[in-house]
Amino acid sequence: GLDETADVTVYDEPCPPGRVAVVIGAEGEGMARLTRERCDHLLSLPMRGRVGSLNASASLAAVLYAYVVPSRR
């Protein structure tokens, strides 16, 4: 799951093998506590500047990019 309070970023953790589901919470509010507790891994998406959060589709695009690009090198 993508959570701003996670200690590990999407750039620090390689994509797990096999099928992956990326869980993203609501814009600005994040995931509910029970949803976070059900996730196998929690990762954050580091952001610079004054941006507090991205919309859900932009967050997913960033996560997929972080997972796909390293595997193509």
- Show pLDDT as tens, one digit a residue, over the chain (73 residues): 998 888 999 988 888 888 889 999 887 778 899 999 999 999 988 888 887 778 888 889 988 888 887 765 5
The conformational region for residue 30 under phi > 0 = left, psi -120 to 50 = alpha, else beta, is left
Structure-derived torsion over alpha carbons of residues 16, 63, 2, 25, reported in degrees to the nearest 10: -130
Residues pairing with 43 in the sheet: 2
Give this prediction's pTM: 0.76
pLDDT at residue 71 in the model? 62
What pLDDT does 17 receive?
84
The identity of residue 60, as a single letter, is L
DSSP 57: H
Sign of CA dihedral 62, 18, 20, 1: negative
pLDDT computed for residue 37 by the predictor: 94
